[in-house]
Amino acid sequence: MDELARTGEGPDAVELTGDELSLVIYTSGSTGRPKGVMLDHSHVEAMSSTMSAHLGLTGDVGILDADGSLRIVDRLKDMIIRGGENINPKEIEAVVTELDDVLEAAVVGGPDTVLGEVPIAHVSLYPGSTLTPADLARHCRAHLTRVKVPERIEIVEALPKNPVGKIDKPRLRPGLHPA
């Protein structure tokens, strides 16, 4: 970090407002205890390549609550950047899973020739459900800002899982093609 400060490439300190998504960077100090640095969304893209050369980045994205507690909410690699707008897939997934017929949902960034990425939702329903992608889109439009509404909603029998049972988002991305 000293080198970043000397070169003038490091970000200026900024005041974070409550519930603002930030990149969390862990460092270890001379005490052997981990220390953390947070960058708000306006600095993440500009600093990521510079800092990755100097620090081991975890890619954690967190929210600093009003009481000063850090809550890890996602991974930077899962962040969707739609026309310069950072979209947290977890926010979309939470809205989709509000519906009783939804078993689970995963949202990933799909390529778009104009916007770079757009949200694509993969949704697994409980047996016997009659929900359609149009129903899900209508629900999303009612509860999300326009840029966060999935561009496409795919209903799947089951979402792929990794060996520890978590949804395997990387396996959802390869089949996506630019819109």
In this prediction, residue 151 carries a pLDDT of 95
In this prediction, residue 106 carries a pLDDT of 96
Q: What are 40's two structure tokens? A: 């708000």
Q: Examine the pLDDT at 54 and tell me if it is beyond 70.
A: no
Mean pLDDT value of segment 153-171: 90
Mean pLDDT value of segment 44-67: 61
Strand order in the sheet with 60-64: 34-40, 21-28, 60-64, 70-75
Residue 21 makes CB contacts below 8 A (sequence gap 6+) with 40, 41, 61, 62, 63, 73, 74, 86, 88
pLDDT tens for 1-50 read: 333 333 334 444 555 555 566 666 665 555 555 555 555 555 555 555 55
